[in-house]
Amino acid sequence: MRQQDKWILPTLRRYLDEAIEDAGGDDISSGKKHTLEIAQMACGCAMLVLSDIKEKGFVITTPDGWDMHPGLKELSRFLALELTAQRNVGLERIKKPPKSLNEILGEVGDGNGNGASEGASGQ
């Protein structure tokens, strides 16, 4: 790894530690640990791509004019690989059930805990 890219190492160490914990702790199989290491590597690649995009921008100048940053073309692959590896060890996003209309209206209230219908009455 290049010296200038080593800034990602502490984040990647923490990433792997937390992923192992989420997957069941130190008792997980070596296969699951290896799969999480693949997710960690994909995450690191995505971090490096995003850093380069931040430095150079989404659009870059080429001899022929301009093009999208080449990293953008690969970023989705790294993110898909990371998510696939996480899913393979059982780390899936758990969808929350949709909120009811009353819950939404209660959140849109006047900011004092009063729902929209109470706040709209002008009292």
Total domains in the chain come to 1
CB atoms within 10 A of CB 39: 22
In a domain, 57, yes or no: yes
Q: Which domain holds residue 64?
A: 3-93
Q: Look at residue 13 and tell me if it is in a domain.
A: yes
Q: Sort residue 99 into left (φ over 0), alpha (ψ -120 to 50) or beta.
A: beta
Examine residue 103 and state whether it is found in any structural domain, yes or no. no
> Is residue 29 a part of any domain in this protein?
yes
Task: Kindly state whether residue 111 falls inside one of the protein's structural domains.
Answer: no
pTM for the whole thing? 0.69
Condensed to tens digits (0 to 9), the pLDDT of residues 35-48 reads 999 999 999 999 99
CA dihedral 84, 79, 48, 40 (to 10 degrees): -20
pLDDT at site 114: 54
What's the mean pLDDT in 45-53? Answer: 94
**Interval 80-109: pLDDT, tens:** 999 999 999 998 766 677 888 888 888 886
**Higher per-residue confidence, 115 vs 102:** 102
